[in-house]
Amino acid sequence: YTISAEPLYVKDPHNVEKWPIWPPRPLLKALYAYADMTDPLLLARPAWYKSFMCLEVGFFGPFYALATYAILKKKDWIRIPCIVYSCVMLTKMWALLAEELFGVTKSPMP
């Protein structure tokens, strides 16, 4: 979850002017090294990708906490929100997979 917020406040991973407090710098450097080798989409950061990350941080993060509580307490009302969450995630994954496999920033090692 914390890695999802990183594209929202680090504009250019190749030229970081001010490193964020969280995630720690070594973790981000490892993430950028991984992205250089295998996942250029992580470094390209098109607008649609950033919008997905806004959705992740603004909606899914709080939902994870709520869903964890509801599932642990065996609350039935969480079922429909979990189905909606699953549908949104599946839709989002199709866009990400299409970009990774066939897009401008496709992965060199799919």
What value does the mean pLDDT of the chain take? 91
**φ/ψ bin of 74: left (φ > 0), alpha (ψ from -120 to 50), beta (otherwise):** left
The reported pTM is 0.82
* Bond before 23 cis per omega within 30 degrees: yes
Q: pLDDT (tens digit, 9 = 90+) per residue, 54-88?
A: 998 899 989 999 999 999 999 999 999 999 999 99
Q: pLDDT (tens digit, 9 = 90+) per residue, 1-58?
A: 677 788 888 888 988 888 888 888 999 999 999 999 998 998 999 999 999 999 988 9
User: Which of 60, 54, 62 has the alpha carbon at shortest distance from 8?
Assistant: 54
Angle at 55 between CA 39 and CA 7, to 5 degrees: 40
